[in-house]
Chains A and B, each alone.
Chain A
Amino acid sequence: KNQVEQSPQSLIILEGKNCTLQCNYTVSPFSNLRWYKQDTGRGPVSLTIMTFSENTKSNGRYTATLDADTKQSSLHITASQLSDSASYICVLTGGGNKLTFGTGTQLKVEL
């Protein structure tokens, strides 16, 4: 069964600090890997999209990496802000544009 596991499950950091979220997957084959940000009670919003041949993709303070050999991806957030507090979800796109969502990492940024 295709799985997308994320770690840590939750994370608390101080404003201004950096953090890295991890994603391990067994979805195969897949066309792309996305990281989404989901605020509480809202729909997911795309942060980055990478094809299986890309190693890294940046979007402002967000940088995603992908290692297709080890089936791992990471999302690095630089200089965190209070508004970064949300759930960050690793999502893989399989056949038919079907998305397989990860378990998510709940990030809280504090003063």
Chain B
Amino acid sequence: EPEVTQTPSHQVTQMGQEVILRCVPISNHLYFYWYRQILGQKVEFLVSFYNNEISEKSEIFDDQFSVERPDGSNFTLKIRSTKLEDSAMYFCASSERENEQFFGPGTRLTVL
């Protein structure tokens, strides 16, 4: 069964460093999403992406964040200058249309 994959599973970085989180969505899906979950809190929407552009973003998704689909398979989330409060699980999701989203296993980001 096709699934969303994410790499790395755990990323540790120093405050102020740039990180890139990678996702491979399900191959025939056209809509892509990033969510984050701070430890002990609920999952929060960050951004949705369709047709090579951002379709919606939350107030969390400020200028430090960017997304890209560099090729036909990868979907990346870049955090330009990480802060301590960026420490969280980051989930990628994809959907075929504007319907059920399938989530990846997540990347745990730890900012020291």
Interface residues of A (CB under 8 A from B): 34, 41-46, 49, 89, 96-104
Contacts and interface: CB of A to CB of B under 8 A. Distances in A.
Given A49-B100, A104-B42, A97 B105 contact: no
Interface in B38-89: 42-45, 48, 55-56, 89
18 contacts: A41-B106, A42-B106, A43-B103, A44-B91, A45-B103, A46-B101, A89-B42, A89-B43, A96-B55, A96-B56, A97-B48, A97-B101, A98-B45, A99-B33, A99-B43, A99-B101, A101-B44, A102-B42
Contact of B104 (A43, A96, A97, A104): A43
A14 B95 CA distance: 36
Interface residues of A, dominant DSSP: mixed
Nearest to B4: A43
Interface of B: 4, 31, 33, 35, 42-45, 48, 55-56, 89, 91, 93, 95, 98-106, 108
A44 B43 contact: yes
A49 B95 CA distance: 14
B42 A101 contact: yes
A100 B55 CA distance: 16
A64 B88 CA distance: 30
A98 B43 contact: no
Which 5 A/B pairs are nearest by Cβ-Cβ distance?
A43-B103, A97-B98, A101-B43, A96-B56, A101-B42
A44 B45 contact: no
B23 to A, nearest CB: 11
Which has the most chain A C-beta neighbours within 10 Å: B98, B101, B102, B108?
Answer: B101
A43 to B, nearest CB: 3
A49 B102 CA distance: 13
A34 B99 CA distance: 11
B107 to A, nearest CB: 10
Contacts of A46: 100-102
Contacts of A43: 4, 91, 93, 103-106
